[in-house]
Structures are given as structure tokens and as C-alpha cells.
Amino acid sequence: MTVLVVGGAGYIGSHAARALSLRGENVILYDNLSTGFRALAEGRDLVVGDIADVDRLESAMRRVDAVMHFAAHAYVGESVENPRKYFQNNVVAGLNLLDTAVRCGVRNFVFSSTCAVYGVPARTPITEDFPREPVNPYGASKLFFERALHAYQHAYGLRYACLRYFNAAGADESGELGELHEPETHLIPLALAAASGSGEPLSIFGEDYPTPDGTCVRDFIHVNDLAEAHVLALQNISDSGESLVLNLGTGEGHSVREVLAVVKQVTGREVPHKIVPRRAGDPPVLVADASKAKALLGWKAQRNLTDIISTAWNWMQKRAAITA
């Protein structure tokens, strides 16, 4: 099978491309390099283009059997400040991608969704049938796209997998791929940068949450576990002809303070930090119930928080050379 990995020069897309190649699939990356990096596409067939560019997209689409779509803006805070950017890219340009796939007869579509579609859930762990009530434009844009996929399935015979990630983190074990965001806003890379002395002390956003140590609890999932789930999900929809909506998490929560403790274990260094007020829109606890992915794909996360932080640390040390 030949797969168009849209957003394939980004963090999760580049890991999915590698997982597809390891399974023997042909991969074409499509990325406008606005937030992706050429270095993460090294050695792969890369088409530099925007998902709003119909002609370029169509000529790439004619060469493939399936699409994995990672090309979205994904900063919650920015989506609140600049919703136009989020609806324009994640919805309007995203629909352009979807329409192009349908027009070119590409039937299998894997979509990178998010637990942000659940908003602030009443309980935890979260199953896929929890109400979808996003509390920011980012989550709303992802939910819109999920609904479009659902409607297109009935109307145009598309098969899709919506994969709702919890907190993607970590890096490929080779040290050749990893997280690169500009600006970086995520907890683990910022905590590692603080520990190494290359970044500012970490700001912990609130320690008065109703959690055991007062800091937020998240379900951190290794990017290669996510990547493997994408490969299995694509195989599943293409073999069964049925669509899928799945949570991808470990089912285990870790608090911000627990993350800092593991960063210390892995790096041997304290994480300089300070407590600051809560960040708007952060639910206290987000943990997946990932049993549906286990039942339908036989998938279960293989890597734990120590693996996540060790691989992220390895990547941080190597990436300066790779991205120079």
C-alpha cells in the first residue's frame, strides 16, 4: 500500500511514516514545512505543499491508496487567541484534503484527533462514548473534522479511523526523530530543557487542583506507541471496511510533579521550577480508557513514562546536530 502522510515532517507524522516504512508500506510525505522540519523527513519522498493547494495535493493523491492526516495547528492557547487560523487550516483546508481524497478515489483515511474533543470530562478514565464538548477552538476544529468524516463515510463510502490522542510525548529510540515545536509549550521538553540548564526554570501551572499532589494529571503516551497504533488502524479499516474511533493512551495518569521526579531520575538533575497560576482551559485529570483499541486492534502501549522521558532526553541531546 502507498500512504500519503500529510504533515509527515512534523512530530507525530514523522514517527508514523517511519512505522509505516518498517512495516514495508510505501510512504509519501506531504508537508508545507510551516511547523514541520525537513530534517524529520530525511531520506523520504517529500512533496512540499499546503493542504489548501488543490493541484499539488491532487497530483500527490493520485499516487496513493490511503491518507494519514497530521497537518493541523495544535496549540490550545493560540486557538483561543487566533481561532480564524485554526478553523481555516484544521477545518477549511482539512476539508479540501478530504474532498481531494474522495475525488481521487482514496477510501482509507486515518485522522489525528485528540482528547480535547471531550472538553472537561465529568469522570475519568474517558471512553470514546463520553460527550464531545470541546472547550477551545482547537478541540472544536478537530471535532468538526471527525463529524465530516462520519458524514462522508455514509455519503461517499469513505472508511476512516479517528484516533484521539492523549498526551503524545517521547521520541524514536534511534534518536533520529523527536519532538520539535517552535515555540515549545509542552511539559516534558520544557522540563528537560530546564533540567539541562538550556531553558528557563519550569513554570508549574497550578498546584491547587483536586488531585493527589495538587498538580494536573495527564496520560502520557509514547509517540512510537501512537505511530504503531496508526499502522494497525489503517490495516484494520482497509481489511474490515469499517470505520473506527479510538482513544490512544496508556490508561495511566501521571501528575506534573511525578513527571518532574522521573526527569530527575533520568537526567540525574533537579528540574528548577516555580509555581504559577493555573493555565486557562487545563482540566485537572485526563486519562484514557484505552480498552477499545486493545479489543479492536490488539494494541496496547508498550512504553512507560520512564521510556518516554529517556527517549526525549536522548533526542534532546542529539537533535542539535540533526537540525543544525
- All three cell numbers of 182, joined, read 517552535
Residue with the shortest CB distance to ligand UDP: 216
Handedness of CA 172, 140, 152, 54 (dihedral sign): negative
Q: Which is nearer to ligand UDP, 104 or 180 (CB)?
A: 180
Write down how long the chain is. 324
Is 138 a residue of the active site?
Answer: yes
In the complex, the smallest distance separating the C-beta of residue 158 from ligand UDP, rounded to whole angstroms, is 28
Q: How far apart, in whole angstroms, are the C-alpha atoms of residue 83 and residue 87?
A: 6
Binding mask 75-104 for ligand UDP (x = CB under 6 A): -x----------------------------
Residue type present at position 75: Y
Under rule CB under 6 A, residue 187 binds ligand UDP: yes
Note the helical H segments in the chain.
11-22, 54-61, 76-81, 83-86, 94-103, 137-156, 187-196, 223-240, 256-267, 291-297, 305-323
Nearest in space to 105 (alpha carbons), one of 137, 39, 35, 58: 58
Catalytic residue among 75, 138, 152, 165: 138
CA angle 157, 158, 162 (to 5 degrees): 145
Binding mask 255-284 for ligand UDP (x = CB under 6 A): -x----------------------x--x--
In the complex, the smallest distance separating the C-beta of residue 4 from ligand UDP, rounded to whole angstroms, is 26
Under rule CB under 6 A, residue 32 binds ligand UDP: no
Residue 157: other Cβ atoms inside 10 A = 11
Under rule CB under 6 A, residue 203 binds ligand UDP: yes
- Selected binder of ligand UDP within 48, 52, 205, 211 (CB under 6 A): 205
Under rule CB under 6 A, residue 185 binds ligand UDP: yes
In the complex, the residues that contact ligand UDP under the rule CB under 6 A are 76, 167, 185-187, 190, 202-205, 216, 218, 256, 279, 282
